[in-house]
Amino acid sequence: MYQIELNDDGSVELKVFGSFKGGNTSKTVYASEANMPDELRSKVSALKMVTPPDGYEDIGQRVNETVFWVFE
């Protein structure tokens, strides 16, 4: 699962959460949405069309205006 946060400066923080059984968490910062992997960028684009806290079963959830949970 991914947590994606769109920052005020245009950068994007991507946190990757491992499995719930001892998985690791990693964090990557992209300079902009354009620098994100295509698959994640398209999922965030779809989630931007819904009102928080809605989402799509197969994509993820929009938590608020800037934070998204995206499924692998």
Residue spans of the domains in the chain: they are 2-70
Widest CA span of the chain, in angstroms?
35
Token duo for residue 39: 């698959």
Give the pLDDT of residue 72. Answer: 86
Q: Can you give the pLDDT at residue 60? A: 97
The reported pLDDT for the residue numbered 42 is 97
> Is-contact 18 24, C-beta < 8 A?
yes
Instruction: Dig out the tokens for 62 from the structure.
Output: 């929009």
Mean pLDDT for each 10-residue chunk of the chain (72 residues)? 96 85 80 97 97 95 97 90
Provide the pLDDT for residue 19. 61
